[in-house]
Amino acid sequence: MKKGRMSLLEDDKYYYGLMDEKEAEEHVELSFLFFSLEKFARWYLSFADVAMILSPEK
């Protein structure tokens, strides 16, 4: 996710299972351990224009 858009996630990232957060020059890579792929996918759609899922492919 672009660093400047991280405010879109606010505290929700913890609710959805944030496990790790790594900063690069322009982006932040987040790792999640979530309980429901469907719920996570619905949440992701709210900021999908500024983020990309790297894995899993499903």
Residue ranges per structural domain of the chain: 3-47
CA dihedral 30, 10, 5, 29 (to 10 degrees): -10
Per-residue burial over 22-36, b = 16 or more CB atoms within 10 Å of its CB, e = otherwise? eeeeeebebeeebee
Spell out the per-residue pLDDT of the chain, length 58, in tens: 888 888 888 889 999 999 999 998 889 999 999 889 899 999 999 999 989 998 887 7
On whether the CB atoms of residues 18 and 30 are closer than 8 A, the answer is yes
CA pair distance 35, 6, nearest whole angstrom: 22
